[in-house]
Structure 1
Amino acid sequence: MDLLENLTAIDNKLSHRHIDLDPNGYFIIYLDRDAGLICAKHFTNVIDDRGLAVDPETGKVIPAKGKVERTHTTLFSGRTAKELCVKIFEETQSPPVTMLDHAAYLGREFIRAEIALVTGKEYVQD
């Protein structure tokens, strides 16, 4: 197994670990290739007593996979991962992230999105 395969296997294994959800919400990250932007829609949620994210308006569990019809609270965008992180974590009065592991995850995802934007490869949020 070469180095790239080994690193990919490590990341794939770590992608399946349990993580606690941020009670302040979650992000859907995507690329706007025409505008040359990395975009991150922030959605609020409530964490129930089972540790599941639920819609604060309906009380229904928000599925991890599949399409969910919800309205985002804020749309952040940037030309680079760093620009996007500065907007979310430094320029927002009350940053929408309350957990360090969530912030680290977003940084990793924004870098992956930036690489996909620059290389023209597909970006799928982990």
Structure 2
Amino acid sequence: MPETLENIVAIDDELSHRHIDLDPAGYFIIYLDLEAKLICAKHFTNVINEQGLAVDPETGKVIPAKGKVERTQTTLFTGRTAKELCVKIFEETDPCPVTMLDHAAYLGREFMSAQKALLSGEDYVQD
């Protein structure tokens, strides 16, 4: 039986709620700069505590998963395409700011979603 768009969306929605281990090298906030026509990825460092929670290395406070957090990124990566952004992060940055394969796969998916939104004029919301 062929998958419907509704079924495919349901699969991804369910997978978006699974547990994931956090990358000890940090996390990214992804957004579009529509004026410059760029995909932007702010990289933030963190430390993972004994409970598996991300902690701000400067303050020692747990970084909440939801809500606004006032932190300064370690690096801002930008690219005109998902591939360009991936090359900058994974091939040209030493040391690479991503240490887990599942995190790399997630970023690739998100950068492709951001690229699609940039090209179509849709809103982009990071999963």
TM-score interval (norm. to shorter): over 0.9
* Structure 1 position 125 matched with structure 2 position 126: yes
Q: Taking structure 1 as the reference length, what is the TM-score of the superposition?
A: 0.98
Give 1:26's aligned residue: 27
Q: Which runs of 5+ in 2 are unaligned?
A: none
Give 2:45's aligned residue: 44
Please list, as runs of the form range in 1=range in 2, the aligned pairs for 1:54-93 lying within 5 A after superposition: 54-93=55-94
Q: Which runs of 5+ in 1 are unaligned?
A: none
Aligned length: 125
What SS does structure 2 have at the residue aligned with 1:19? coil
Once the two structures are superposed, residues 39-62 of structure 1 have per-residue CA deviations (whole angstroms, 9 ceiling, x without a partner) of 000000000000000000111000
What SS does structure 1 have at the residue aligned with 2:7? helix
Q: CA RMSD, aligned part only? A: 0.7
How high is the sequence identity, in percent, across the aligned residues? 79
**Distance in 2 between residues matched to 1:35 and 1:65, nearest whole Å:** 27
**Distance in 1 between residues matched to 2:43 and 2:92, nearest whole Å:** 15
What SS does structure 2 have at the residue aligned with 1:65? coil
Once the two structures are superposed, residues 86-116 of structure 1 have per-residue CA deviations (whole angstroms, 9 ceiling, x without a partner) of 0000011111000000000000000000000
* Structure 1 position 101 matched with structure 2 position 97: no
**Distance in 1 between residues matched to 2:38 and 2:6, nearest whole Å:** 29
What SS does structure 2 have at the residue aligned with 1:39? strand
**Distance in 1 between residues matched to 2:94 and 2:49, nearest whole Å:** 26
